[in-house]
Chain A
């Protein structure tokens, strides 16, 4: 008995028809193109940015040249990276709290339909109300700066985890639930051995969204809070740089935020791949 098909990679000695050869070449081109194209376009965009600055003689305080921005990242590294650490701390902490809160609530919801019916509307209210509008209230009720930012980022990040995990916990094969019942499984065993693993792909999908939102939440919250203290994050650096017409530093901070967002996304995608690659459809490699 054979297991599944082996990957259909053509060995050099293999005789293949022209159509299959064409397909193989196209696959190879697509593989290379998938990283080469975005890099090339990005490079061209940066060159164009630089040329526009030079051709139009745009002053540095309006649009700095990319080289200047890069120099600023290096020159202001200690300042920018300590700010980045502050923003990153808020992001990671709020994401962790969002996971705890989102998964915890989702598990609670699956224990009883009535709890879900009662509490889900509150979660939606929190989600649909713009965080910028809620923040003044948080500002009144909470003293500690970090707690304020954390709360804000949490509100933004927890909903996708909650709603995805709830969906996942409820999307379990009915027959498997019957099978567990037949074997006298307890509620806890069904949750641990069946519902939680089955919800994993949904949870990880929510986590990818929440990771980006936590960063946005952390930055937006700091913008609204607007206080530039000793240990302030990248948003404060941007506000500060804006006041001083220090466009290069503003761009530098902006680029650091973007890169952080990309890194968070890549890290979470990688985790998702590690967990799911052996069994879930979404993580399977397409061979043909």
Chain B
């Protein structure tokens, strides 16, 4: 399997405080290995999206350091998939996938082989000329993933990409994403609030707690890949889900206790 033990990305005591005074992240340390499928799991407000934005370079940490190991990171090396498909509504599927290459100066024609390849990988061959509103939610997300992968990034950052989809579509996209990941061997950081999704997909789960956002626990998901539909109903999966769910409940309770203490402290 693609995962190795060489650290690829290290977060050193990352903190983020907004001008409003809200502390989104406090002392976050994280190690992501090359080829990892790491999920950031936590309740809303635990700063998992903020952490992802800091890793992407869309936001700067107030304190701490983001360190990339290995070959120097190029702009192409980070792919990003948002919660919404975030496509250009006026552009065709083809042009949407072309966009990141276009911004790097690759002509429409020169990009054709790469676009055709990645569209085939996400099962969208034949839909090149459709515009986003002609597609279903799941297909739009596939376009978004294709756009994220067309630059052949070393790491794919995904911010709750399947949260808005129905369960059947989500399962299908989960399977396809794992397939792509196994084939191409990129690293994934996957933000989610679903225990089941994180266990199915990842080899490591980082559980985060809120107020302030921090790393609370880590769960190793040592079930072997490839994982498929039968894994979803296996006792092993159920046990891992219970373990992860317990960790998540503890993280949520930790926040509740902190809040109680603050409230009592104030009075």
The answer to the question of B78 belonging to the interface, with a C-beta cut-off of 8 Å to chain A, is yes
User: Does the CB pair A184–B136 fall under 8 Å?
Assistant: no
Instruction: Report chain B residues within 8 Å CB of A189.
Output: 103
User: Does the CB pair A179–B136 fall under 8 Å?
Assistant: no
Q: Bound complex: CA of A194 vs CA of B102, how far in Å?
A: 12
User: Does the CB pair B103–A185 fall under 8 Å?
Assistant: yes
Q: Looking at the complex, which of A105-113, A119-127, A170-178, A250-258 is the stretch in contact with chain B?
A: A170-178
The answer to the question of B22 belonging to the interface, with a C-beta cut-off of 8 Å to chain A, is no
Given contacts A182-B57, A185-B103, A279-B131, contact A200 B90 (CB under 8 A): yes
Instruction: Report chain B residues within 8 Å CB of A183.
Output: 75, 99-100, 103-104
Instruction: Mark each residue of chain B from 118 to 148: 1 if its CB lies under 8 Å from any CB of chain A, else 0.
Output: 0000010001001111111001000000000
User: Does the CB pair B136–A1 fall under 8 Å?
Assistant: yes
Our pick among A3, A176, A184, A185 for the contact of B86 (Cβ within 8 Å) is: A176
The answer to the question of B80 belonging to the interface, with a C-beta cut-off of 8 Å to chain A, is yes
Instruction: Report chain A residues within 8 Å CB of B130.
Output: 3
Which residues from 1 to 44 on chain A have a C-beta closer than 8 Å to any C-beta of chain B?
A: 1-4
Instruction: Report chain B residues within 8 Å CB of A4.
Output: 133-136
User: Does the CB pair A182–B133 fall under 8 Å?
Assistant: no
User: Does the CB pair A193–B58 fall under 8 Å?
Assistant: no
Our pick among B53, B75, B103 for the contact of A180 (Cβ within 8 Å) is: B103
Given contacts A193-B99, A193-B103, contact A279 B90 (CB under 8 A): yes
The answer to the question of A244 belonging to the interface, with a C-beta cut-off of 8 Å to chain B, is no
Least CB distance from B176 to A in Å reads 12
Instruction: Report chain A residues within 8 Å CB of B100.
Output: 183
User: Does the CB pair A178–B133 fall under 8 Å?
Assistant: no
Given contacts A1-B139, A193-B99, A279-B89, contact A178 B58 (CB under 8 A): yes
Instruction: Report chain B residues within 8 Å CB of A136.
Output: none
Least CB distance from A38 to B in Å reads 31
Instruction: Mark each residue of chain B from 57 to 82: 1 if its CB lies under 8 Å from any CB of chain A, else 0.
Output: 11000000000000000010010101
The answer to the question of B218 belonging to the interface, with a C-beta cut-off of 8 Å to chain A, is no
Q: Bound complex: CA of A73 vs CA of B127, how far in Å?
A: 54
Which residues from 134 to 181 on chain B have a C-beta closer than 8 Å to any C-beta of chain A?
A: 134-136, 139
Given contacts A1-B136, A180-B103, A193-B103, contact A175 B86 (CB under 8 A): yes
Given contacts A184-B75, A193-B99, contact A280 B136 (CB under 8 A): no
The answer to the question of B56 belonging to the interface, with a C-beta cut-off of 8 Å to chain A, is yes
**CB nearest to B59 among chain A residues:** A178
The answer to the question of A242 belonging to the interface, with a C-beta cut-off of 8 Å to chain B, is no
The size bracket of the interface on B is: 20 to 34
User: Does the CB pair A197–B88 fall under 8 Å?
Assistant: yes
Least CB distance from B12 to A in Å reads 22
Which residues from 231 to 285 on chain A have a C-beta closer than 8 Å to any C-beta of chain B?
A: 278-280, 284
Least CB distance from B155 to A in Å reads 12
User: Does the CB pair A193–B82 fall under 8 Å?
Assistant: no
Q: Bound complex: CA of A179 vs CA of B81, how far in Å?
A: 9
The answer to the question of B84 belonging to the interface, with a C-beta cut-off of 8 Å to chain A, is yes
**CB nearest to A180 among chain B residues:** B103
Our pick among B57, B88, B133 for the contact of A176 (Cβ within 8 Å) is: B88
Given contacts A279-B132, A279-B133, contact A179 B102 (CB under 8 A): no
Q: Bound complex: CA of A182 vs CA of B99, how far in Å?
A: 12
**CB nearest to B76 among chain A residues:** A183
The answer to the question of A51 belonging to the interface, with a C-beta cut-off of 8 Å to chain B, is no
User: Does the CB pair A193–B135 fall under 8 Å?
Assistant: no
Instruction: Report chain A residues within 8 Å CB of B57.
Output: 182
Instruction: Mark each residue of chain B from 97 to 111: 1 if its CB lies under 8 Å from any CB of chain A, else 0.
Output: 001101110000000
Instruction: Report chain B residues within 8 Å CB of A1.
Output: 123, 136, 139
**CB nearest to B102 among chain A residues:** A193
Q: Chain A residues in contact with chain B, CB under 8 A?
A: 1-4, 173, 175-176, 178-185, 189, 193-194, 197, 200, 278-280, 284
Q: Chain B residues in contact with chain A, CB under 8 A?
A: 53, 56-58, 75, 78, 80, 82, 84, 86, 88-91, 99-100, 102-104, 123, 127, 130-136, 139
Q: Which 7 A-B pairs have the closest CB atoms?
A: A175-B86, A183-B103, A279-B90, A279-B89, A175-B82, A185-B103, A184-B75
10 A–B contacts from the bound complex (CB under 8 Å): A173-B86, A175-B86, A178-B53, A179-B80, A179-B82, A182-B57, A182-B78, A189-B103, A200-B90, A284-B133
